Amino acid sequence: MREIVAARDLIIGMFVAELDRPWLESSFLLQGFLIEDVAMLEQVQKECRFVYVDRSRSVGDAWRAEPQEPETPRGARRGPGALQAELVARRRPLDFFALLRALRAGGLAEQDDGDSDDHAVVAPEVQAAGMDTPLETEIAVALPVVERAQGVLEQIASDVQRSLNPDLERVRSVVAEMVLSVARNPDALLWLLRLKQTDRYSYDHSLDVAAHVMIFGRALGLGEDAIATLGMAGMMQDVGKLRLPHRLLHKPGSLTPMEYEIFKTHVDYSLQILSASARVTPLMLEIVARHHERVDGSGYPKGLRGEAVGIMAEISGICDVYCALTRERPYGPAESSQSALDAVRVQRGTRFSESLVDQFVQCIGLYPVGTLVELNSGEVAVVVAQNRIRRLKPKVMILLGPDKKPNAYPQTVDLLYDRPGAVGEQYFIVKALPPGAYGVVPSEFYLA
Q: Residues 178, 145: contact at Cβ < 8 Å?
A: yes
**Cα 110 to Cα 339: distance, rounded to the nearest angstrom:** 39
According to the model, what pLDDT value does residue 31 have? 67
Cα 127 to chain centroid, rounded: 20
Residues of the chain with pLDDT under 50: 66-130, 443, 446-448
**Cα 372 to Cα 382: distance, rounded to the nearest angstrom:** 4
Q: Angle at Cα 17 formed by Cα 13 and Cα 19, nearest 5°?
A: 110
Tell me the three-class secondary structure of 190-210, residue by residue: HHHHHHCCCCCHHHHHHHHHH
**Cα 269 to Cα 278: distance, rounded to the nearest angstrom:** 17
According to the model, what pLDDT value does residue 249 have? 86
According to the model, what pLDDT value does residue 315 have? 96
**Cα 294 to Cα 292: distance, rounded to the nearest angstrom:** 7
- Rounded to 5 degrees, φ, ψ at 396 are -130, 155
**Cα 258 to Cα 83: distance, rounded to the nearest angstrom:** 60
Cis peptide before 442 (omega within 30 of 0): no
- pLDDT tens sequence across 249-264: 888 888 899 999 999 9
According to the model, what pLDDT value does residue 40 have? 87
Q: Residues 335, 434: contact at Cβ < 8 Å?
A: yes
Give the number of C-alpha atoms closer than 13 A to the C-alpha of residue 384, restricted to the C-beta side: 28
**Cα 53 to Cα 3: distance, rounded to the nearest angstrom:** 5
Q: Which residues pair with 6 in a beta bridge?
A: 50
**Cα 49 to Cα 44: distance, rounded to the nearest angstrom:** 9
- Rounded to 5 degrees, φ, ψ at 198 are -110, -170
